[in-house]
Amino acid sequence: MFEHGTCRRIVSLILIVIWAIWLKKSKVFILNIDQMSDHKMKYPDVATFDLDYTVWPCYCDSHINPPLKPIRSSNGEVRTVVDASGYEVTIYPDIYKILSDLKQNDVKLISASRTWAPDIAKQMLKTFKMSYNGSIVPLTEIFDVSEWGERSKVGHIRDSFKIIYGDTNLDKRDICLFDDEGRNKEVERYGIKFVYVKDPERGATWKLYQDYLKNK
């Protein structure tokens, strides 16, 4: 049998061990909460997308001969179109997921293209269709504004702001541009984050998009 004093010491040691275990678990829990907070995504106010080799893998002004025929998938989406010559274009695989995530987080979407054939690009935006909020909708309904013309992307964005916000003050809002042309990095002089789409085989990918959000 243990003496009374010995029993008290054993109980004290057990309590100390339990306290140490609880304290360690508490620190891990707090650390995990902090990490979750650190990794919380911060979305921009406006996301702008170039089209050729950012959203789809072609130049619509030199590769496409309308009219366009949609190829519907089993869920009703249109990810592939075929032109009059039989040329097939499939939208980059992560684009619908990226656009849907942005829309669900109240981000305004702009398409901005220097294409010489805006009428063809508009047909493509109407023909490609994605699932959003339980409906199948054309990309023309996903983008809030589409801008065209051989001018700077800053000009495209400013004109879009006139339609969306009624002003051209870019400083008031958090803006990004996904684009495959390095020359358009000039937008960063105006406070716009340039997200360089380097891979012509995959376009704007989910990983590129997530890396942009995490590093904001």
Question: Measured between alpha carbons, how far is 158 from 197 in angstroms, rounded to an integer?
Answer: 22
Give catalytic status of residue 101 as yes or no.
no
Say whether 52 is catalytic. yes
Closest of 176, 108, 175, 183 to residue 146, by C-alpha = 108
Q: Of these residues, 34, 45, 50, 106, which one is catalytic? A: 50
How far apart, in whole angstroms, are the C-alpha atoms of residue 180 and residue 199?
8
Cα distance between residue 89 and residue 60, in whole Å:
10
Catalytic residue ranges: 50, 52
